[in-house]
Amino acid sequence: MDAIERLKKMTNQPFLYNGEQVVVLNHCCYTGEDGDEAEVYLNNGKTLCCKMHDLKMLINKFKPITNLVVLLANEQLNRISTINPEIIRDLRDAVFEQIKAVRENPAAVNQAKQVFQGVNTLINLAKTELDYRRYLDKKNEER
């Protein structure tokens, strides 16, 4: 099984990663300027980035854990995942600043691309968190 398939099976599963309890929320492959990177989104708010050829090595650092830890990880996610309106306002301001900078100086395009890539990553992470919350709600209803 290749690394991408393994990563897909890891989604919404609990693991120990560097001694910390985490749940893999989602992933995005072939990111970065050259399309040769992967991002793994964790429930602790961290995004792990690596080159595609290093993905298998990154995945091997995740160790499976018990269902009890899943409950603890879900409780931690619920405590930290409220979206701060200031963050959204700051992101919006940053995007508008970059648009203005590009209009005034076309040489600022590369910097704007990097900012927009970061914003897109945050948007994807927020979408993933919402999907994870829906998944948890569905699992709780089934119990």
The predicted structure's pLDDT at residue 74:
55
Average pLDDT over residues 127-136: 78
Domain range list for the chain: 3-142
pLDDT tens per residue across span 99-116: 777 778 877 777 777 777
pLDDT of residue 76: 55
CA distance 73 to 67: 10
Query: pLDDT tens-digit profile of 47-64?
Result: 999 999 999 999 999 988
In angstroms, what CA-CA distances link 35 with 39, 64, 119, 127?
A: 11, 29, 17, 21
Rounded to whole angstroms, the Cα distance separating 125 from 56 reads 22
- % of the chain beyond a pLDDT of 90: 13
Helix axes 67-80, 109-142, angle to 10 degrees: 130
pLDDT band of residue 139 (cuts 50, 70, 90) is confident
Q: pLDDT value at position 65?
A: 72
